[in-house]
Amino acid sequence: MRIFLAVVLLAAASVLAASDNAPPGMSAIPGGTYKPLYAKQAKPRQVQPFFLDDIQVTNAQFLAFVTKYPDWQRSRIKPTLADKNYLAHWRGDLDPGDGNALAAPVVNVSWFAAKAYCEAQGKRLPTQDEWEFVARADATRLDASGDQAFLQQLLEWYSKPASSSPSSAAEGAKNVHGVRGLHGRVWEWVHDFNSTMVVGDSRGDGSLERKLFCGAGSLLASDVSNYAAFMRYAFRSSLKGDYCVASLGFRAAKSVKEAPPMPAMPQFTTIYDLPGIWRTHEGEKLKMEQLRGKPRVITMGFTSCKFACPRIIGDMKRIESALGEDADKAGFVFFSFDTERDDPKQMKKAATEHQLASERWTFAISDEETIRQLAVALQFKFATVEGFLTHSNLIAVLDADGKIVHREEELGADIAPTVAALKKLLLP
């Protein structure tokens, strides 16, 4: 018992000590390990110390942001960055409402807008691991995830109907870290939301595999009693980067260890406007803008994939063959997200094994942030689950400027619609 009390007191002391170094308006999260929801045999995940906003970003704070950066105002934001519900609850570009509305959490913001706001503050969106690590805490304990009373309380908070009068973000329930309103009717964006895939395992389910995920796509719960966590994961799994939802807001995080400043979230019309440097299978540097000029068929995956990626490449080869002589007027690009294994040498090997024409095909890899931005823009999901890479399926046709004119998300689908979309672009 004495040892247990000593551990509790030591943990509490570390939280209090760390809080002295937190930036204004943020709480210090000491870091540690936690067991994620997915995978029954999940190994504990390590979370490094970081800082997290005490409260969700408010309408008042977001108003200051769009005032300083007018391209993010409701009437000016590009349709690639937010759907039609962006800031729909505001009365105008610079009018969120009265005093009560100003103090409430901002909602109806896309992932792109939330990310841009955080970067403008010298911060970032929290990762899913960071968010879930903090989400285990109640008012007195760092980890209350095994307490059924706590889990039931979360369900009650989540099930509350939307109120006509917004509540102040500062009135949210406070946990032991000093973070308020983490659970409630306003859900929150995380940086890697598109790494959440709550589906069946496509490898053994013939009736579902055409639209499900490759590899370890099945998220098997480590704690089936934690239905509140299931709700969060399922909600994230349904999101796309441009979605604006009346019950979805965000808060910012910051690493304890100083990192280079994040590049500003770009305003982009097509994916060819996205920043970042890629490396090709020929060892050359590639910017997205260099792909302009002709229609292209693109996908995302990883070269050591044994299930979906070879089938997708096979479909792309059949598309190439169906074009006949017109294939020389198009390009084929495989963007990898496997930063650990895919390098120019490995990608060159894959291109050779698949017998791909080097003058038409490009394999490319980049840093994690550049890959993430492209994946979100393409509505592509990928994750690492218990050491296995998993991802959604995609073949997209882009016009000469990088606009997506056709997409296919089923494995083994009829290639005729994709070929037709390409031929239409190739008409003189």
Residue 152 φ/ψ, nearest 5 degrees: -65, -35
Which ranges of 148-240 would DSSP assign to H, the alpha helix?
Answer: 148-158, 227-237
- Report which of 298, 294, 339, 337 is spatially closest to residue 315, judged by C-alpha positions: 298
> What does pLDDT average to over the chain?
87
Q: Which residues fall within 8 angstroms of residue 224, CB to CB, at 6 or more apart?
A: none
- With the C-alpha atoms ordered 51, 56, 61, 67, is the resulting torsion angle positive or negative? positive
Q: Which residues fall within 8 angstroms of residue 11, CB to CB, at 6 or more apart?
A: 30, 142
Structure tokens at 293: 């000029």
What pLDDT is attached to residue 262? Answer: 60
List Cβ<8 Å contacts ≥24 apart for 342-348.
Answer: 342/302, 342/303, 342/304, 343/279, 344/279, 344/280, 344/281, 344/282, 344/283, 346/303, 346/304, 347/280, 347/281, 347/303, 348/281, 348/282
Burial class (CB in 10 A: 0-12, 13-18, 19+), 396: buried
Rounded to whole angstroms, the Cα distance separating 264 from 281 reads 28
- With the C-alpha atoms ordered 12, 13, 18, 19, is the resulting torsion angle positive or negative? positive
Rounded to whole angstroms, the Cα distance separating 208 from 403 reads 29
Mean pLDDT, residues 147-165: 76
What's the gap between Cα 265 and its chain centre? Answer: 14
Encode pLDDT of 367-422 as tens digits.
999 999 999 999 999 988 777 888 999 999 999 999 999 999 998 899 999 999 99
Mean pLDDT, residues 199-217: 41
First-to-last alpha carbon distance for the chain, in angstroms, is: 81
What pLDDT is attached to residue 20? Answer: 57
Q: How far is CA 394 from CA 92, 143, 315, 398, 414, in A?
A: 37, 39, 11, 12, 14
61 pLDDT band, cuts 50/70/90, is very high
Structural domains of the chain, with CATH: 21-255 (3.90.1580), 271-426 (3.40.30.10)
Mean pLDDT, residues 48-58: 97
What pLDDT is attached to residue 166? Answer: 66
Which ranges of 294-400 would DSSP assign to H, the alpha helix?
Answer: 308-323, 344-353, 368-377
Encode pLDDT of 116-140 as tens digits.
999 999 999 999 999 999 999 999 9
Q: Which residues fall within 8 angstroms of residue 115, CB to CB, at 6 or more apart?
A: 124, 125, 191, 265
State the Cα angle at 218 between 212 and 223, rounded to 5°: 145
Burial class (CB in 10 A: 0-12, 13-18, 19+), 397: buried
Residue 7 confidence (pLDDT) above 90: no
What pLDDT is attached to residue 273? Answer: 96
- Report which of 171, 146, 143 is spatially closest to residue 157, judged by C-alpha positions: 171
217 pLDDT band, cuts 50/70/90, is very low
Burial class (CB in 10 A: 0-12, 13-18, 19+), 78: middle
Rounded to whole angstroms, the Cα distance separating 114 from 62 reads 9
192: three-class secondary structure by DSSP: coil
Cβ atoms of residues 313 and 347 within 8 Å:
no
Cβ atoms of residues 213 and 381 within 8 Å:
yes
